[in-house]
Amino acid sequence: MTRARILLIGSAIATLAASGAYAQTAPQPAPMEPQTMQPATPPQQNVVAPAPTDPLVQRRNANAEANAEYRASKKASKAELKAQNQQAKSQYKEEVKNAKINRKADKDAAKAELNATEPSTPKDTGLQH
C-alpha cells in the first residue's frame, strides 16, 4: 500500500513540476514591422486538438454527445407535446362554447314549441277545491 502511495505522490510531483516549467516559459515578442514599428498581427489559426486515443476519453465524449442529443430530443418532444395540449385545450373550449349555444337554442326551441301547442287561456280557472 505504501509503495502505491509513494508512486502516486511521485507522479503527482512530476506532473506539477512539468506544468510549472511550461508555465514559466516567457512568451516570444511579436515581430515588428519595419515601416510602422508596430507589432504585426499573426494570421489567426484554428487550433484543432487531435482525437484522443484513450478509450475512457472517447467514451466520455461519446456519452456527452449522446446526452446532448437526448436533451435536444427531449426538449423538442416537450415543445411538441405542449403545442398539442394547447391545441386540444382550445378545441375543447370551442366545443364547450358550441355545446352551450346549442343547449340554449334547444331550450328556446322547446319553449317556443310548448308555447305554440298550449292554448293562450289562463291556467287558473278560478275553481277552488
3-class DSSP state of 2: helix
CA distances to 48, 49, 67, 75, 97 from 62, in Å: 18, 16, 9, 20, 52
Q: What is the pLDDT of residues 52-98, one digit of tens each?
A: 688 999 999 999 999 999 999 999 999 999 999 999 999 999 999 99
**pTM tops 0.95:** no
What's the chain's Rg over C-alpha atoms? 42
Q: Give the list of residues 6+ apart from residue 32 with CB closer than 8 angstroms, or none.
A: 38, 39, 40
